């Protein structure tokens, strides 16, 4: 099964992927803030790392997962777990 077939099965659009990836990025920043303090987060912003992470994030994720799935480096079960989380993120987003 291809990535695009799986995305269709889970009814996930590009916007849903981007939203879920933004949630993971936010969680990462909160963790960095809690463990390393505000200077560490400020440094990430100042260096442009956050902007780099955001730029075409859903396209990079899709390309990476598609290539890894195609080469059989990524287990379909693991990808399905990721897609299930993204589906829950989409549902929660629409509730709020």
pLDDT at 12: 97
Predicted TM-score (pTM) of the model is 0.90
Indicate the domain borders of the chain.
3-95
Q: How many CA atoms lie within 13 A of 15 on its CB side?
A: 4
Query: Residue 48 in contact with residue 60, Cβ under 8 Å?
Result: no
Task: Tell me the mean pLDDT per 10 residues along the chain, length 96.
Answer: 95 96 96 97 94 93 96 95 98 91
């Amino acid at each position: 099964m291809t990535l695009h077939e799986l995305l269709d099965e889970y009814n996930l659009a590009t916007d849903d992927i981007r939203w879920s990836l933004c949630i993971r990025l936010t969680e990462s920043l909160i963790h960095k803030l809690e463990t390393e303090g505000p200077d560490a987060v400020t440094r990430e912003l100042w260096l442009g790392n956050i902007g780099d992470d955001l730029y075409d994030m859903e396209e990079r994720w899709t390309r990476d997962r598609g290539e890894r799935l195609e080469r059989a480096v990524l287990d379909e079960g693991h990808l399905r777990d990721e897609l299930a989380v993204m589906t829950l993120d989409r549902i929660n987003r629409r509730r709020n």
